[in-house]
Chain A
Amino acid sequence: MSDNRPLDFGQFWYSLGKELSEVPIAAETETLTMRSTDFADLYGIHISSIGPYAIYGYLSIPKGDGPFPVIYYVPKNASVLEIIPQGTSNQIRSRYITFSLACRGMRTADSPYAAMYPGQLTEGIESFSSYLYRGVVADTLRGLDFLLTCPSIDKSSIVAWGNDNALLAGALHGAVTHIVSTPSFLYDTINQASRTSSYPLEEFNDYLRHNPERKGQISEILSYYDLRFHSSAITAESLIMADYDGGLFDKKTLRNLTENMNGAVTVHPSERSSYKDGMFCEKWITDKLFGKDATPIVPNHWKLE
């Protein structure tokens, strides 16, 4: 991958923003009674993104009077859209507005295009204009556009939570105040892929094994998405969930991201335990949004200490 930010990097993203601004959000809301509880209501949200393309999300709003802080679960590199991530206490919906979004290709946003996994990350990578991920980023930003139209949100507390897309959301949309991100595939992508045979990065190895002559061009396209070149635009307070020391995306490797971000950054090296890492995230976000005296909402089996 190129180590230089493309000269027209700003223009590339400005054009996307402009294109998105010309597409109406056109939200349609349906109440999902079965997934609503005595502490939160759930809605299915249909909105439009560039293309035009119809995307879909789950919006959960706590009962009672707002405003409420928001956790925005950005689109994943996987087919299934969850209401909240598997293993998250459902009670989190009593404290936060949560919004999870399926980008184009994921279930509930897979008409006309149904993505394959692996496959999504290299779909249309033959050219700048055909690369699917431009649309995925647009969808991610459109989710924030929609959230800003919700009357009960606390605009001072909007968390983008998830993979690399959480950082892109923070870099490209001014609404994000906090970020919890686990970088997985958009940091120095081709170089990192060469260090592993595991998916999702293996998808790039597969592609380049069959199209070795395209390495330079692919690198150039991916440089527009490289988190290193978005880092300086990130002003939100951020938690970066790094790999364990020596892992593919460990704290040392991610330095060119974390040291150039313009908001406060906490880097947490994985403890190789979803419980310990998950507890760290929940404590961090509770501390940032509610103060050190507040108690994080965690699953039942994390209370057994």
Chain B
Amino acid sequence: MGVDRDYRCRVTKPEDFNEFWGLVLDELSSIELNVECEKDELRSDSEVTVYQIFYDSLDHVRISGWYSVPNTPVNRLPAILLVPGYQSDPPIPKDWSAKGYACLSVNPRGKVRSRSQFDPGYPGLLTHRIVDKNTYSYRGFYADAWRGIDFLLSRGEVDSERIGVAGSSQGGGLAITTSAMRKEIKAASAGAPYLCGFMDAIELTDTYPYQEINDYLRTYPDRLEEVESTLAYFDGISFADQIDCPIIVNLGLQDNVCPPETGYALFETIGSKDKKLFEYEGHGHEAGRYVHSGIMDQFFDKYLKG
């Protein structure tokens, strides 16, 4: 038995989806960015300068990130917003800057360096206040990632017409939501996207982190309807029709964390006419990274450097 490529998830985009997120964006725009950017001498080298950066996000939560730029002088740089996985620590993106990009690797709320005001922990983040879309953890978490674009736009060295977003796993899910909500994004790469087809994924997999939702529903079975209602607002599939930039998606067909079925359902929904799917048979959650990294490089070179 193989993966069903025609699988479709049961999530339905809420009628007031745009209104809900519009209010979040309004609230976000009313908060000063309040950027701090301090050079990290220890992590900088002859090729790349690294900065520890901070900005304010929704609820005035202070968000941290690693920002790096190539040392080679150029007029304006293409830029990448690098969005993180679920339980991994956001990396210092020297490798992106060595390829000629300004790159922000953002630590949304609850991640290491951004957890003094909000920290539901791991496991925990995925179900924190999951019965209420207005206080669900990912309301702020998504906003923190999107806010990274404002940081990049505040940098004089960044070319505002050449900004991309990249990530895998949770980063893949965040690449979907960010490219849907921020039209400054000109190219997106989403690998093994998490946060897509939640209610299907918890039945298709028997692994963490999706098991967090099953743990929650086993404990509070009467809250199923509220959980499903909240998640519809946060499901990448609900965002995907609003993506109109060039985008590539890669899936591992033996992905044991983010089921490929949900990846197919997501891809079908993506609104962009310039979208391409890369399927990796014989690969798990790394989704063919060793081959696909070269494809990503070519993709961003074409759309951000071309």
Measured CB to CB, the residues of A under 8 A from B are: 33-35, 37, 78-84, 86-91, 107-108, 116-118, 197-199, 202, 205-207, 209-210, 272-276, 278, 298-302, 304
Query: CA separation between A273 and B133, bound complex, in Å?
Result: 37
With A and B bound together, what is the CA distance between A89 and B256 in angstroms?
A: 8
Nearest residue, chain A, Cβ from B252: A275
Q: Return the contact of B42 from the options A86, A89, A206 (Cβ within 8 A).
A: A206
The reply to whether A90 and B206 contact each other, CB–CB distance below 8 Å, is yes
Is B211 on the interface with A (CB-CB < 8 A)?
A: yes
Closest CB of chain B to A294's CB: distance in Å? 19
Are B208 and A84 in contact, with the CB atoms below 8 A?
A: yes
Give chain B nearest CB distance to A277 CB in angstroms.
8
Please indicate the chain B residues that have their CB under 8 angstroms from the CB of A301 in the complex: 3, 204-205, 253-256, 259-260, 284
- Which residues of chain A come closer than 8 Å to B29, judged between CB atoms? none
A34 touches B215 (CB 8 A): yes
B94 touches A197 (CB 8 A): yes
Q: 13 A-B Cβ contacts within 8 A?
A: A34-B218, A78-B89, A79-B89, A87-B207, A90-B208, A116-B112, A210-B41, A273-B284, A274-B256, A274-B286, A299-B206, A299-B207, A304-B254
Known: A37-B218, A83-B123, A197-B94. Contact between A206 and B43, CB under 8 A?
Answer: yes
A residues in contact with B290, CB < 8 Å:
272
CB < 8 Å neighbour of A117 from B1, B89, B95, B259 = B89
What is the CA–CA distance of A210 and B283 in the complex, to the nearest angstrom? 40
Would you call B75 an interface residue if the criterion is a C-beta within 8 Å of the partner chain's C-beta atoms?
Answer: no
- Docked pose: A276 CA to B288 CA in angstroms: 12
Residue contact A276 to B218, C-beta cutoff 8 Å? no
- Does residue B17 face the partner (Cβ distance < 8 Å to A)? no
- A86 B86 Cβ-Cβ under 8 A: yes
Please, which residue of chain B has its CB at the minimum distance from the CB of A270? B290
A275-B87 in contact given A37-B218, A197-B95, A301-B256 (Cβ < 8 Å) = no
Is the CB of B113 closer than 8 A to any CB of chain A?
A: yes
Contact A80 B122 (CB under 8 A): yes
A274 to B98, CA, bound (A): 27
Q: CB-nearest residue of chain A relative to B282?
A: A273
Q: A35-B123, A78-B88, A118-B92 are in contact. Are A90 and B256 (CB under 8 A)?
A: no
State the Cβ distance, A249 to closest chain B Cβ, in Å: 15
Minimum CB distance partner of A108 in chain B: B121
**Distance, CA A304 to CA B284, complexed state (A):** 12
CB-based contact B45/A274 at 8 Å: no
CB–CB B283/A83 < 8 A: no
Contacts of A197 in B (CB 8 A): 94-95, 98
Q: Does B219 make an interface contact (CB < 8 A)?
A: yes
Among A107, A272, A274, the most chain B Cβ lie within 10 Å of the Cβ of A274
What's the minimum C-beta distance from B251 to chain A, rounded to whole angstroms? 11
Residues of A close to B206: CB separation below 8 A: 89-91, 299-300
Residues of chain A within 8 A of B255, CB atoms compared: 275, 301
